[in-house]
Amino acid sequence: MAKETQEPETNVVAETENYMIWSAEEPDGETTYHIDINNVTVHFFTEEWKEFLELIRGLK
């Protein structure tokens, strides 16, 4: 008997015409964050996402 694969629950955090940021509640309880820029997707675990937000807030 094959194990059922649980699909993560996703949520769009922000979106423009060309970009999208979304999060996923993974089956193991981890939240991951994803930035879609054209045909590139950057994936972050929660700790990495928090650090990335600090970096972006530092932009002037």
Convert the pLDDT of each residue in 1-47 to its tens digit: 566 778 889 999 999 999 999 999 999 999 999 999 989 999 999 99
* pLDDT at residue 29, rounded to an integer: 93
Contacts of 27 (CB under 8 A, 6+ apart): 6, 8
* pLDDT at residue 6, rounded to an integer: 82
* pLDDT at residue 1, rounded to an integer: 57
* pLDDT at residue 48, rounded to an integer: 98
Q: In 1-60, where does DSSP find H-type helix? A: 46-57
* pLDDT at residue 37, rounded to an integer: 95
Confidence (pTM)? 0.83
